[in-house]
Structure 1
Amino acid sequence: MELLSVNVGRPRTVDYTNAPGGRTGIDKRPVDGPVLITAPAPGGASGVAGDAVCDLRFHGGPDRAVHAFAREDMEVWEGELGRPLPPGSFGENLTTRGLDVNGALIGERWRIGPDLVLEVTGGRIPCRTFAGFVQEDAWVRRLNRSPAGPGALLRVIEPGEVRAGDPVEVVHRPAHPITVTRLHHAATADRSLLPSTLVAAEWMESGLLALARNHAEKYGE
């Protein structure tokens, strides 16, 4: 398991987002050399040095400091879309190889390189900005229904510098069955499953946790 690429985005003004100011950092490109990843402060943006997060309503902050996507899943989409997808094409900060990103458990921890430790908090929910960026019809619905999965959101447990080629090691798996894919399916396709995901509440990112709790309270589950 290895880190294939570290990707950062610069803020751009585009016509396909409803983010404040019409700006987005979704267009992420690989960078050379070591990149520092730290936990952003509450209300802060990306945990990746040099990376722009422009819409703090849905991105960034301690629970969504980093986004990872597996190269293997990107290759599935290359076949479906009929075009090459370089690292960063899914707006991800980290492109991995050999790691089951969407099969990771919520709360699973990864060590990347000698120092960085990240914790899985959920799956990335696709949005209008993402759809506009990839320029594909019905993109949100297609991604939500795809077995390739959404990629993982992560919080920073121990900061550190990383670079392409660093090894990735799974150092902890919690004792519950809720994976990135399972939580994403519950949040986007079958919300009757949301109460069952609360066994992972301790580790879930705040937006998905609120959704699961609200559904459980509303339906008395």
Structure 2
Amino acid sequence: MSDGKVLQVNVGVPRANPAKKLAMTGIDKRPVEHPVQVRAPGPKTTGLHSGLIGDPIGDIKNHGGNDQAVYAYAREDYDWWEKELGRQLAGGAFGENLTTIGLDVCGAMIGEVWRVGDELELQTTFGRIPCATFQARMEEPKWLKRFTKENRTGAYLRVVTPGSVQAGDSISVTYRPSKSVSIAEAFEVYMLDRPRLARLLDAEGLPADLREDVRRRVS
């Protein structure tokens, strides 16, 4: 049974990055019509960076790697932002690889598995923590604080089973942990409600480095 579908597949176009001391950013994502191969990229700084072949990442210290192999954002959340900001937002504007429709991305449980199309399987890991590059791209006052407060972050995913993805592919939730935390709740706790940090330790599929960070802070 399909829970939603891929509205767009977006791949980055390398651009100069004045927001950070880096030569390039891949946040400028553009839709492609052809199938794109997706595989686990390996470690963040030493691997292949993005899960999508041909998708560049400039800040390899903070983006990409196995636990941020793919970034998904819901068209429904874009529609909400359009009303708030008073301007149109095309899919890919936030730098996501998959623009989805019909799927509650921020309500997804950390550790749940999505089947995308015929082969590809992805597992949710955490929400998107906004950065200076995102602020520069949006050109909205206090954008990082606003994006954080509204908690419509989209979801990062790791690759469980490699495969191809293209616009129109169905998305089905094939596994949902019985004990976990939603993307939205986990982000709120981590960013805005630190006294509840221990709650994140219930999240199956939480990235190992994030789990260690939480344990250190709780103890």
1:99-124 Cα distance to aligned partner (Å, 9 max, x none): 00000000011001000000000001
Q: Which amino acid is 1:119 matched to? A: Q
CA contact (8 A) 2:111 2:180 kept: no
Partner of 1:37: 38
Residue 97 (structure 2) pairs with residue 96 (structure 1): no
- Counterparts of 1:207 and 1:131, CA distance in 2: 25
Give the equivalent residue in structure 2 for 1:15. 18
Of 205, 211, 214, which residue of structure 2 is paired with 1:209?
211
- Report the equivalent of 1:189: 192
Q: In structure 2, what is the Cα distance between the partners aligned to 1:33 and 1:119?
A: 23
Between 1:111-120 and 1:168-177, the stretch displaced more is 168-177
Instruction: Tell me if 1:165 matches 2:168.
Output: yes
- The runs of 4+ residues in structure 1 deviating greater than 6 Å are none
CA distance in structure 1 between the aligned counterparts of 2:180 and 2:33, rounded to whole angstroms: 36
- Against the structure 1 CA distance between its residues 210 and 186, is the aligned structure 2 distance closer, same or farther, given a 3 Å change threshold? same
Specify every segment of 5 or more residues in structure 1 that has no aligned partner in the other structure, as ranges.
Answer: none
Count of residues in correspondence between the two structures: 213
Q: Distance in 2 between matches of 1:41 and 1:15?
A: 27
Q: Is residue 170 of structure 2 the alignment partner of residue 155 of structure 1?
A: no
Moved more, 183-192 or 62-71: 183-192
Of residues 75, 78, 82 in structure 2, which corresponds to 1:71? 75
Q: In the alignment, which residue of structure 2 is the partner of 1:115?
A: 119
Cα offset for 1:208?
2.9
Shift of 1:14: 2.5
TM-score normalized by the length of structure 2 = 0.94
Give, in angstroms, the shift of residue 207 of structure 1.
4.4
Alignment-derived partner of residue 57 in structure 2: 53
Q: Deviations over 1:101-154 (max 9, x none)?
A: 00000001100100000000000100111011111110111011104x100000
